[in-house]
């Protein structure tokens, strides 16, 4: 089995042979190993191949092309310039710290990869994403899915780079290489169709002019499909002792001694084992543990670039209008005192504006907030608690018309939880959803917290700021499976509370019971603020929520 460095070097050579068809995500900190890999790639490229590095926080005009502002101001006419993607046409674009790439820039790179153009200019390039993230911090999946190779150099030392493995034999021809790669992708849980398509391209490149061999399939699957694996192939079930004996085979003519056995419809066991061995060790541990890796919460508003052009203006400053909103009056005020010395003989322009005069607006943003009420609708006092929640939701919705905030409602009772009110600002819709909410039954607290977390994560992915308000007495007595039992239900509730805390969601626990031990323990587990309001009005609850969140 080739080493990790041998696979990484092989991927670099394949990428250099056809940079427009492939691409790579290279996960490694800055250092000699990563630079050596980049040197191998650059040395294998044809001479004069464009090589561009993407600067951090690059603007759309520099990325896609646009107006050359300095040349336009100097010449007095519009002068366009090509962006970085058009300059890299036919070559390579390297993105350092790709795990911190703004979502807007990532979407523009993905669009350029799909269309091969950037602002109506040809822009076909190979993309190299240098992933320097730690832990669960990774690059955007929308970009990684479009690239053939995912290379992890973080565990490779300098001594491992010296060995040069021999080229393997191609092996026997494969009658249906695409079918084998699709079967491998299905076995390892690769849901995207880009995985087997890119693996087929790699196998075709490895084979060259000859037919695709078994070793080409193994190498392509190891380089492309193994890092994308989300599960391990299901082991074959042993035959049961009570299984009926197989029927006697019918007599068939003996096969020709010179003929070779045909390939099976599914990949051979040796191919599966080769791909299984190429799965990264940390991914293999996660697959065996049965849990997918969760991405860490990013700072700032999710799905929106840091340099947004929306908000309330509160002033202006010197800057580039391509990265902000032009303050025309501020620009003219800055240029006006200098017109006496800037006007030349024969100057036709009434006012001469230079780059130092340009002013952009300072905008104050306000992130939309969605409050997810998670209400315990169980027990004899459910009607009282629901009345408090209904009143608070209606008051918050009335204010949402001014603040443009939203409210959602999750109720849990009996054996599970349900989303009674999706995130909305509509007061009519809220009243309609709240009026038919019943009460009574057991307390499936873990299911309620899980449902609230699911709603809040969906809100955060949509670019809003979620906050969870849990109204409960904390006395869980129904587990996630629907079975009763206070011990198991309480343990699962604390587990769900800790999961909420790991997700980085702000929360408030409102204790509606007479005793505060259980609800306070839930609040401590989720790192939430604890508020004891056993007897309160809707107005007080609404004010407490606004103050806490």
- What confidence category does residue 43 fall into, taking pLDDT thresholds of 50, 70 and 90? very high
Three-state DSSP class for 466? Answer: strand
CA–CA dist 41, 93 (Å, integer): 12
Residue 393 above 70 pLDDT? no
Q: For residues 28-64, b (16+ Cβ closer than 10 Å) or e, as one string?
A: beeeebbebbbebbeebbeeeebbeebeeebbbbbbb
Highest-confidence segment of 168-172, 258-262, 371-375: 371-375
29: number of CA atoms within 13 Å, CB side? Answer: 6
Question: What pLDDT is stored for residue 152 in this prediction?
Answer: 87
User: Looking at residue 427, what is its pLDDT?
Assistant: 66
Instruction: Tell me what pLDDT residue 298 has.
Output: 42
The reported pLDDT for the residue numbered 269 is: 66
**How many alpha carbons fall within 13 Å on the CB side of residue 179?**
9
* pLDDT value for 249: 47
pLDDT confidence band for 348 (50 / 70 / 90): low
**Residue 507 parent element (H or E):** strand 507-511
CA angle in degrees (0–180, nearest 5) for 175-181-187: 125
Mean pLDDT of 463-482: 86
Residue 535: HSE in the Cβ half-sphere, 13 Å Cα cutoff: 1
The span from the CA of 523 to the CA of 500, in Å, is 11
For the segment 58-69, the average pLDDT, to the nearest whole number, is 80
d(CA 12, CA 161) in angstroms, rounded, equals: 13
Instruction: Give the H or E element holding residue 492.
Output: helix 486-502
Q: Quick check: 480 pLDDT over 50? A: yes
Q: pLDDT: is 534 or 152 the higher one?
A: 152
Q: How confident is the model at residue 500 (pLDDT cuts 50, 70, 90)?
A: very high
pLDDT recorded at residue 301? 39
- Chain segment 95-109, per-residue pLDDT in tens: 998 888 888 888 899
Residue 50: pLDDT over 60? yes
Q: For residue 473, what are the contacts with CB-CB under 8 A and spacing of at least 6? A: 376, 379, 443, 511, 512, 513, 514, 515, 518, 519
CB 349 within 8 A of CB 76: yes
Lowest-confidence segment of 156-170, 327-341, 503-517 by average pLDDT: 156-170
Of 33-47, 297-311, 451-465, 490-504, which range is least confident? Answer: 297-311
Contact (CB, 8 A) for 33 and 249: no
pLDDT tens digits along 262-317: 444 445 666 676 666 666 665 655 555 554 444 443 433 333 333 455 666 777 88
Please state whether the predicted TM-score (pTM) of the whole model is above 0.85: no
Residues 308-335, buried b or exposed e (16+ Cβ, 10 A)?
eeeeeeeebeebebeebbbbeebbeebb
- Whether residue 128 has pLDDT greater than 90: yes
* Alpha carbon distance 398, 405 (integer Å): 10
**pLDDT tens-digit readout, 230-275:** 877 765 555 444 444 555 444 444 444 444 444 444 456 666 766 6
- Residue 211, pLDDT > 50, answer yes
Tell me what the mean pLDDT of segment 522-532 comes to.
87
DSSP state of 527: T
- Comparing 191-200, 242-251, 454-463, 472-481, which segment has the lowest mean pLDDT? 242-251
Q: Is 208 helix (H, G, I), strand (E, B) or coil?
A: coil
Residues of the chain above pLDDT 90, percent: 17
Is pLDDT of 111 > 50?
yes
What is the predicted pLDDT for the residue at 213?
Answer: 84
Which is higher by pLDDT, 51 or 483?
Answer: 51
Query: Cα(199)–Cα(513) distance, rounded to whole angstroms?
Result: 59
- The average confidence (pLDDT) of the chain is 77
């Amino acid at each position: 089995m080739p080493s990790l460095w041998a696979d990484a070097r092989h991927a670099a050579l394949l990428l250099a042979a056809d940079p427009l068809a492939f691409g790579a995500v290279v996960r490694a900190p800055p250092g000699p190993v990563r630079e050596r890999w980049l040197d191998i790639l650059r040395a294998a490229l044809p001479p004069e191949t464009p090589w561009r590095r993407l600067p951090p926080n690059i603007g759309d005009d520099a990325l896609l092309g646009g107006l050359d502002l300095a040349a336009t101001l100097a010449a007095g006419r519009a002068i366009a310039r090509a962006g970085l993607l058009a300059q890299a046409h036919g070559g390579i674009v390297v993105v350092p710290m790709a795990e911190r790439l703004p979502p807007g820039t990532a979407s523009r790179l993905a669009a350029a990869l799909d269309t091969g153009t950037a602002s109506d200019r040809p822009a076909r390039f190979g993309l190299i994403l240098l992933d320097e993230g730690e832990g669960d911090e990774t690059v955007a999946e929308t970009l990684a899915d479009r690239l053939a190779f995912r290379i992890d150099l973080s565990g490779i030392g300098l001594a491992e780079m010296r060995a040069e493995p021999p080229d393997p034999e191609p092996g026997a021809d494969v009658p249906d290489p695409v079918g084998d790669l699709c079967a491998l992708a299905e076995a390892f849980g690769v849901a995207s169709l880009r995985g087997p398509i890119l693996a087929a391209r790699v196998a075709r490149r490895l084979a060259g002019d000859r037919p695709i061999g078994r070793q080409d399939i193994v190498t392509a699957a190891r380089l492309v499909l193994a890092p994308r694996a989300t599960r391990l192939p299901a082991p074959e079930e042993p035959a049961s002792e009570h299984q009926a004996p197989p029927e006697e085979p019918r007599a068939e003519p003996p096969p020709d001694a010179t003929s070779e056995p045909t390939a099976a419809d599914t990949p051979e066991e040796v191919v599966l084992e080769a791909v299984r061995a190429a799965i990264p060790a940390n991914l293999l541990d996660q697959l065996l543990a049965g849990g997918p890796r969760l991405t860490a919460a990013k700072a700032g508003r999710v799905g929106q670039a840091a340099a947004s052009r929306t908000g309330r203006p509160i002033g202006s400053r010197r800057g580039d209008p391509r990265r902000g909103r032009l303050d025309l009056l501020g620009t003219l005020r800055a240029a006006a005192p200098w017109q006496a010395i800037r006007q030349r003989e024969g100057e036709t322009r009434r006012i001469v504006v230079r780059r130092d005069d340009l002013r952009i607006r300072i905008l104050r943003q306000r992130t939309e907030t969605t409050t997810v009420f998670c209400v315990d609708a169980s027990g004899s006092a459910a009607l009282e608690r629901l009345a408090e929640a209904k009143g608070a939701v209606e008051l918050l919705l009335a204010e949402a018309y001014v603040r443009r905030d939203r409210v959602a409602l999750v109720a849990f009772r009996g054996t599970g939880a349900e989303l009674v009110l999706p995130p909305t600002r509509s007061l009519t819709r809220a009243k309609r959803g709240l009026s038919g909410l019943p009460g009574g039954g057991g307390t499936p607290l873990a299911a309620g917290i899980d449902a609230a977390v699911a709603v809040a994560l969906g809100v955060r992915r949509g670019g809003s700021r979620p906050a969870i308000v849990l109204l409960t007495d904390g006395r869980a007595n129904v587990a996630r499976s629907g079975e009763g039992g206070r011990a198991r239900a309480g343990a699962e509730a604390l587990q769900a509370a800790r999961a909420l805390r790991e997700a980085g969601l702000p929360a408030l626990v409102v204790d509606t019971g007479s005793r505060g031990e259980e609800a306070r323990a839930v609040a401590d587990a989720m790192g939430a603020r604890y508020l004891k309001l056993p007897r309160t009005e809707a107005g007080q609850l609404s004010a407490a929520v606004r103050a806490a969140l």
